[in-house]
A and B are shown apart, each in its own frame.
Chain A
Amino acid sequence: GESVGLHLPTLSVQEGDNSIINCAYSNSASDYFIWYKQESGKGPQFIIDIRSNMDKRQGQRVTVLLNKTVKHLSLQIAATQPGDSAVYFCAETHYTGNQFYFGTGTSLTVIP
């Protein structure tokens, strides 16, 4: 299968600081990328997505950046809050495809 990897397995940030979570993908044919947040014992929740015809997309306190040249995806969380503590996964697929490929995840801990 395809591999989607994350650079850092754990990340600790002070409350109020910005967080950046990185992800590398391997399939050049992937054109749709998604970030999910998973709290302990729960299913992943959609945060934000981006298609390959864009290099940046913003949501509420979150921004996803896509660099197709180096096949790199990042999630930026502004003014990180304790409720942001969770595991974050990136996923890649083709927009009309059927399979998603997930990274291992990065565990974000927010220090009050």
Chain B
Amino acid sequence: DGGITQSPKYLFRKEGQNVTLSCEQNLNHDAMYWYRQDPGQGLRLIYYSQIVNDFQKGDIAEGYSVSREKKESFPLTVTSAQKNPTAFYLCASRGMNTEAFFGQGTRLTVV
């Protein structure tokens, strides 16, 4: 079945570590997105990519990095520069003239 897959579902990070969240889609969508969601709040855009090898910063890109080497994959790295990384991270993709399709999320916790 077509869809968008995030892994892992739960991730724990020690202080000072970089961690990478995976996002893969087989929907043949050009656009992919990363959002951060804090408890009781809406979605805030971290980065998005409209095409392979191109990406743009969203509203809260500081402390995060991404790559888009393949159409299907848009990994997000949470770097040690992100001082408050504990959150629920959502990846989404969008095809031409469609809604955004979301993955099931990764819950990142700093320990």
Contacts and interface: CB of A to CB of B under 8 A. Distances in A.
Interface in B69-111: 88, 90, 92, 94, 96-97, 99-105, 107
Nearest to A44: B102
B15 interface: no
A8 to B, nearest CB: 14
A29 B106 CA distance: 33
B66 interface: no
Nearest to A100: B100
Interface residues on B, range: 20 to 34
Interface stretch (A12-20, A57-65, A70-78, A89-97): A89-97
Interface residues of A, number: 21
B11 interface: no
Contacts of B42: 89, 102-105
Contacts of A95: 97
Contact of B45 (A42, A44, A99): A99
Given A34-B100, A96-B97, A102-B42, A41 B48 contact: no
Contacts of B50: 98
Looking at B6, B42, B45, the one whose CB has the most chain A CB atoms below 10 A away is B42
Contacts of B103: 43
14 contacts: A41-B88, A42-B105, A43-B6, A43-B102, A43-B105, A45-B102, A49-B99, A89-B42, A99-B45, A99-B58, A100-B45, A100-B94, A104-B41, A105-B41
6 shortest A-B CB distances, which residue pairs? A43-B102, A104-B42, A102-B43, A43-B104, A102-B42, A44-B102
Interface of B: 6, 31, 33, 35, 41-43, 45, 48, 50, 58-59, 88, 90, 92, 94, 96-97, 99-105, 107
